[in-house]
Chains A and B, each alone.
Chain A
Amino acid sequence: MNVFAGVRSAAGAEQKDAGSAGGEALLELTPHRMAVCHLVQVFAPQQEGGPATPPFPFESVAHHNRLGLFLFSLTRSCEDFLEPPLEELLRQLKAVDDLVNGWLCEQLTTTLSGLISPDDLFNFFDKLRGVLTSPEGASVEDEFLDPNSQLGVYLRCCILAFNSMTFEGVCHLLSNLVAYCNSAETSYDLAEDEDFNSEMEMSDLMDADIGVRAGVFDKYGQGYATESHMGESSSSFIHAPISLHDFDEDNIFKADENPTCLRSRWQLEAYLNQQADILEKDPSSVPLNSFNATMTQLQTLAPELHRVQFLQHLNALSHDDYVSALDNLHRYFDYSAGQGLFSRSLSANQDIIVGKYESALLSLGSLHCYFGHPKKALEAFTEAVRVSQMNNDDSCLAYILGAISNLLSKIGISSTVGIIGSPYSLGNNSGLGTPLSIQQQLLVLLKRSLKRADMLKLTSLISFDHISLAKFDLKHVQRPLVSFGPNASTKLRTCPADVCKSLRLSSHVLSDFGTGDLSTSHDNGSFSTSWLRNLSTASSSWCSSSAKPGKQIVNDFDNFHFNAQPSPIPTSVLQLAGSAYLMRATAWEHYGSAPMVRMNALVYTTCFADAASSSELSLAYVKLIQQLVVFKGYSVAFGALKIAEEKFPSSTNPHIHLLKMQLLHDRALHRGHLRVAQQICDEFGVLSSSVSGVDIELKTEASLRHARTLLAAKQFSQAAVVANSLFSTCYKYNMQVENASVLLLLAEIHKKSDNAVLGLPYALASQSFCKSFNLDLLEASATLTLAELWLALGSSHAKRALSLVYQSLPMILGHGGLELRARAHIVLAKCYLTDREYSVSEDPRAVLDPLNQATEDLQVLEYHDMAAEAYYLKAMAYNHLGKEGEREEAAARFKEHVTAVENPHDEEASLAY
């Protein structure tokens, strides 16, 4: 029937349901199931013999029970996609069988291979029926196979299935049975033909199955706690089969790679989830084509499991293959959207229902967002909003709102364009006559999404929205949406407290999971995922303990949880919680607290590295390295960068790549290697997409650096032009935070071009921007520039400059980097030197101390330009003091730096590190 679409899904679901409920559309009889039936028959106690003595082949009650447990686990996994061949079953059975010298195995094979005619089959099932009928006079407590027990039901199902079989079916079963028995003997000859018979995979199959049993036995171990020897023997039983095979790392690796060792639907889903995690964490480790091949193989094994296509979509996405990502997305949702295929894995309060049309649109929107098509993404999201409103899918709606706000915050959209134009979607026209600005729309969206998520108890979405809100608060001044009259006083400042509050609320997601209803909320295969993980670590830990004692387990997270319950917190939640920390680091970066940045980034890298996606983790690394370069200079930073590059190759990871270029550019500028700097600048420009509004941050940084390069080359007018256009872009896209630094740069340009008067307003504007966005460190820097500008206006302003410098010093000395500190010191010295009331001979330390400090710092930074200035001042000071030796020395250093700037040599070295 599966050919026919209309009936298929419904019939399929019913069939499955009926199968598990024990209705008439039962499991399909296979040779493997017959083998299990036979074993059950052996297990079932015979009529003669009292309850005290175990039946014939068994030595002890424990032995008997062990077979029972084994059978139990076998019957539990009877809805698998792929059944183990006889050989594997025998191998597993050996663990039980050892005590009776393989009697069980031998009996099983002879019985099965003895079935050669359809009539034999009839007799076989007749005999099975005998097992179930309880003998006369048996009391209830007696050990007879209860027809309502797991094994009894299984047996009855099999018998029923046989009875309702047509003769063709019987013939088919018989021929399968012959093949099944033969496979045990000749499997190695056919290795090239059949996929699952090679020895390697056999052991993988084995490997996987042990895990299942381990789980089952763990459960039962508790039930049998009173029988202490039982527990011991069962644990030794768990490990016994493993030792039959010599595992090595490759083999275990293969268990991960090779999906054919997975059999049950759960395991398969777990495998897919795991692969999805890998794709997110480290896309570069997954080769595009071979992964697709694996997925295709899975698809042939389980044609009804459409999630495979979704993984292919993810794979294509992570390899930037737009066309195939799009194709697979559509294929996946075409097949699955109408059906709700994973009905069995969906619990009532799961966050989002996989496979609905609105989810299709949501995914499509995210795809376009990922590939930088903001307009298309918005269209998709708007449509998604409409469809989910039509279908009353509130949770999806909340997610879509979250996604839209993510898009809006990510992609610069100039406020002059009405983007969310359609009146259907977001209710932006409600009540108010005037349309809201993009930022206000974003805020409204975020708040609505948050409210909805709160109502629907979507914890992770709440957390996400809090992070987004924090991001918003960080960069935007919250204006009241409606301001009536003059009494609505507006405070045009960002509010750091809000940011912190949001971030704190967002990491509550962790505690919510700690206390919340665990058992119901994440029954979505994550158990199986962690089980799979534990499986690989179990094997590897076993390996390392016996074969390679020095070998460390790579992932201590998994090791910690091995044999214990899997981590109660799903990866996605951990990721969100981690993002909050990363966001905190970013926030402190803005507010200008170096230690807090370091601390939060470190927390992130140490605590959330396991759950983090490669992009976020690398971002944390980037932040740490950026701190290093600011405080420790280039050599240390490049050393760290090398380490980071080992983990994330810069060719594949955009963050690291960007960082590398930033470092190289800064160093080239400092060293005065302008040609190299220009070259890197050009590379920067190429990195961003050409579509306007996309990659806006990258573009901003590129032109900022371009202006700085021009400034260093003393092409002031050009630099000013670039900076001005950058300012208007930032203004257009409402990027006020960036504006602060652009204004500062403009002030700098005017200062360098000896146009101090023109520079003053820029510096002041920058300062006020910094104030309203709480950018403390940048403000200090602006104040410093202001001081320099005053100083440039003449010695009469030295006092004012000095007071400004003193005003900014605490912040700069507390949190500023090498360059900023050196600059502050130099300006301080300059203030003193220009001050007419000050004479060097009276208080030489006031000038020399800061200058010494500055030269030291600049030495580390290799900042020739500024170092030259410092030495010049130093020489002047010594000159005044009449210390000729020191003066000559300082002058010599001055000359050294000046020539280094004027005649840059080995520029090529600037590109290496």
Chain B
Amino acid sequence: MASTSKESYRVELRAAARQLGDRCLYSAAKWAAELLVGIEPDAAAPSQPDTPSSSGAGPGGRLLHLHRSGGSSFRRRMRPGGGSEAGTPLGGVSYVSTPIPDDDAFDAGADKYLLAKTYFDCREYRRAAHVLRGHVGRKAVFLRCYALYMAGEKRKDEETIELEGSLGKSNVVNQELVALERELSTYRRTGAIDSFGLYLYGIVLRDKGCEGLARTVLVESVNSYPWNWCAWLEIQSLCTTSDILNNLNLKNHWMKDFFIASAHLELKMHEEALKRYERLMGVFRCSDYIQAQIATVQYSMRELDDADMIFEELLRTDPFRVDSMDIYSNLLYAKESLTALSFLAHRVFLTDKYRPESCCIIANYYSLKGQHEKSVLYFQRALKLNRKYLSAWTLMGHEYVELKNTPAAIDAYRRAVDINPRDYRAWYGLGQIYEMMGMPFYALYYFRKSSHLQPNDARLWIAMAQCYESDPLQMIEEAIKCYERAANSNDTEGIALHQLAKLHSMLGQSEEAAFYYKKDVERMEVEERQGQNFVEALLFLAKHCKSIGRYEEAEHYCTRLLDYTGPEKETAKSMLQGIKREQSGFPSMDIDHFAL
């Protein structure tokens, strides 16, 4: 059962990779082929040499050394979930089997098609289209149109460079769009179009700005031919909200799982995405793609160590990989591991330095080095290569902040937000800038936006709380609410608890303050972090307990304070004496007090 289903996946993917490659849809073909190799080998087959579980002794040992938490490498941890249900259809739902379409029979134009494809492979698009003029086979029509589209895209890119510098006229358009749309829409009306044609029609429509229609057409395309990953990606880019995603009329093919998972990741529904990917791992055990996606999810969930491990593993098996390596570099940046980042930057530089990802990685490296001008330069290069490269805009904004160039930073962030309004980091950046400029009230709008998009991120709540707390605003109650949110959503730095305690004590609510100070002390004890905050908390607790008559607790805190040097020690000493006095010397006072 298990092997047959796996075998059927293989058959489908094999055919798909061939067909897609035949139509010059390279990246989709690449994706399919990668996935094909990623299917777990059958039990009967001899074990692959590169499965990590079998080679744990080598690099796995290094991982062990690096990460104290991991007793096993990540792949082994994945296994129990996937292994048992590898045979059953994913997620327990039955899939609609989509017949693999036969390719057009080799007709008279087959030779011409071959020629056109070779031209296309050599990036001589117009020539390819020219060869196929007059051919009516669906395959030939598709390749001709696709070649025209690519020619237009190429020209567009060139023009963007050529015309650079004239303000306000940067919106060069693909000149072929109009003709292509006209032709493809006629084909669609008459039904003389296959799913590849629909895919092309979809992207033409998207480029023209008809997003709704584009979505419908693309959905049609993937419903009839689900193995074209590029089509799925286009749909994903058109699904900006989860409502749109849920309203798509998609056939239940196993490719849909990949799509949904990826879309969830994009829409920041991390848990769902992770779950789906882990299920998919059951079949596609060795897929690098899924590994990279899981790592991305984990990075977004700020599980940096786990993600780091996966990325390292990926690079080990596939050293010339550039895809998703920008995320890895972000991760390394967050972990501040300079050496690893420089290593990565060098590697991608040697592999392909003119990829936006590469530029982004190098920029990250410079940023971590503190050379922000150079970093900006590389981000600019990345953006030149891909103007819609969202994270580069945001990161460039960060760099401008470092350079104290606030208008430029605002502009960069704004562009990021306009490209994707769900980019919480850019909103956060905007808020930060305005806060820096002494406009906390104005900044609140941005922080509110970002925390709305990422409600479980303590940093955003803390930023907002700090705004409320700032001198000009002094809206303590609102600040407390924000800190509470932050404390409830895994605040790793522990700012929230301390601030909560402080604010409550400022407002004279000593019960609450004591509650939070106690929690804070517990947290610091667990993390073995002892600093000024710790002393402060102890001091407050001691005073508080003393004032409400819980002398034993007060004594406990005071004795702990004695371990520290500084004025607090003296205070603790005198307090201890005071407690002793009150406990032994004048017990009647209390009674009197109560009698009154």
Comparing A277-285, A382-390, A731-739, A864-872, the segment that makes contact with chain B is A382-390
**Residues in chain B near residue A337, CB distance under 8 A:** 407, 410
User: Is A334 a contact partner of B414 (Cβ separation < 8 A)?
Assistant: yes
Instruction: Scan residues 316-352 of chain A and give those whose CB is less than 8 A from a CB of chain B.
Output: 326, 330-331, 334-335, 337-339
Contacting residues, chain A, for B408 (C-beta < 8 A): 5-6, 338
- Asked whether A390 lies within 8 Å of B442 as measured between CB atoms, the reply is no
Assess whether A9 is in contact with B383, with CB atoms less than 8 Å apart: no
Q: Which residues of A, 398-425, contact B by the 8 Å Cβ criterion?
A: 421-422, 424
The residue among A6, A168, A172, A339 with the most chain B CB atoms within 10 A of its own CB is: A6
Q: Select one of B166, B430, B440 contacting A334, CB under 8 A.
A: B430
Asked if residues B472 and A338 are in contact (CB atoms below 8 Å), the reply is: no
The interface size bin for chain A is 35 or more
Q: Is A218 in the interface zone, CB < 8 Å from B?
A: no
When the two chains form their complex, are residues B163 and A172 in contact, meaning their CB atoms are under 8 A apart? Answer: yes
> In this complex, which of B163, B169, B400, B406 has the most chain A Cβ atoms within 10 angstroms of its Cβ?
B169
B511: min CB distance to chain A, Å = 26
The answer to whether A390 and B438 have CB atoms under 8 Å apart is yes
Residue in B168, B411, B441, B473 whose beta carbon sits within 8 Å of that of A361 in the complex: B441
The reply on A519 being an interface residue by CB < 8 A is no
Q: Is B415 an interface residue (CB 8 A)?
A: yes
| Contacting pair A387 B411 (CB below 8 A) | no
Q: Is the CB of A2 within 8 A of B411?
A: no
What 0/1 readout, one digit per residue, does chain B (436-447) give for beta carbons within 8 Å of chain A?
Answer: 011111100110
B405 within 8 A of A: yes
**A797-822 interface bits toward B, Cβ cutoff 8 Å, 1 = contact, 0 = none:** 00000000000000000000000000
Residues 394 to 411 of chain B near chain A (Cβ within 8 Å): 396, 400, 405-411
**B442 engages A364 (CB within 8 Å):** yes
Task: Give A3 to B387 CA distance when docked, in angstroms.
Answer: 8
Which of B158, B412, B439, B445 has the most C-beta atoms of chain A within 10 angstroms of its own C-beta?
B439
Known contacts A5-B411, A6-B376, A361-B439; A12 and B167 CB within 8 A of each other: yes
Picked from A303, A339, A376, A383, the residue with its CB within 8 Å of the CB of B171 is A303
Q: Contacting B472 at CB < 8 Å: which of A4, A15, A335, A382?
A: A382
- The minimal Cβ–Cβ distance linking A391 to chain B, given in whole angstroms, is 10
Pairwise interchain contact A383-B472, C-beta atoms closer than 8 A? yes
Residue of B nearest to A301 (CB): B168
Are B400 and A6 in contact, with the CB atoms below 8 A? yes
Provide the bound-state CA to CA distance between A302 and B159, in Å: 19
Contact A302 B168 (CB under 8 A): yes
Inter-subunit contact A357/B437 (CB<8 Å): yes
Within the assembled complex, what's the spacing in Å between the Cα atoms of A360 and B387?
A: 28
Does B493 reach chain A (CB closer than 8 Å)?
no
Residues of A contacting B158 in the complex (Cβ-Cβ under 8 angstroms): 168
Q: CB < 8 Å: which of B383, B406, B437, B440 contacts A4?
A: B383
Main secondary structure of the interface of A (DSSP, over half): helix
**A357 near B170 (CB under 8 angstroms)?**
no
Known interface pairs A172-B163, A383-B442, A390-B438. Does A304 touch B168 (Cβ–Cβ under 8 Å)?
yes
| Chain B residues within an 8 Å CB radius of A339 | 407
Separation of A2 and B170 alpha carbons in the complex (Å): 8
The residues of B that contact A376 with a CB separation of less than 8 Å are 441
A380: contacting residue among B162, B406, B442, CB under 8 A: B442
Contact B412 A386 (CB under 8 A): no
Interface string of B166-197 (1 = CB under 8 A from A): 11111100000010000000000000000000
A28 CB within 8 Å of chain B = yes
Per-position binary interface string of chain B over residues 308-333, scored 1 when its CB falls under 8 Å from any chain A CB and 0 otherwise = 00000000000000000000000000
Cα–Cα distance between A907 and B380 once the two chains are bound (Å): 74
Do B412 and A5 touch across chains, with their CB atoms under 8 A apart?
Answer: yes
Q: Does B531 contact A (CB under 8 A)?
A: no
With contact pairs A4-B380, A169-B162, A422-B474 given, residues A300 and B171 touching in the complex (Cβ less than 8 Å)? yes
Complex interface: chain B residues within 8 A of A909 (CB) = none
CB of A188 closer than 8 Å to a CB of B: no
A169 to B178, CA, bound (A): 24
CB–CB A326/B415 < 8 A: no
Q: Provide the bound-state CA to CA distance between A334 and B376, in Å.
A: 20
User: Which of A15, A166, A387 contacts B167 (CB under 8 A)?
Assistant: A15
- Provide the bound-state CA to CA distance between A809 and B159, in Å: 87
Interface residues of A in 348-384 (CB under 8 A from B): 357, 360-361, 364, 376, 379-380, 382-383
Can you name 18 extra interface pairs (CB under 8 A) apart from A3-B380, A334-B413? Answer: A2-B170, A4-B380, A4-B383, A6-B405, A168-B162, A172-B159, A303-B168, A326-B445, A337-B410, A357-B439, A364-B441, A379-B441, A380-B441, A380-B442, A382-B441, A382-B472, A390-B438, A424-B472
The 6 closest A-B pairs by CB, nearest first: A338-B407, A5-B411, A6-B408, A334-B414, A168-B162, A5-B408
**Interface residues, chain A, with chain B CB atoms under 8 Å away:** 1-6, 8-9, 12, 15-16, 28, 81, 166, 168-169, 172, 193, 300, 302-304, 326, 330-331, 334-335, 337-339, 357, 360-361, 364, 376, 379-380, 382-383, 386-387, 390, 421-422, 424
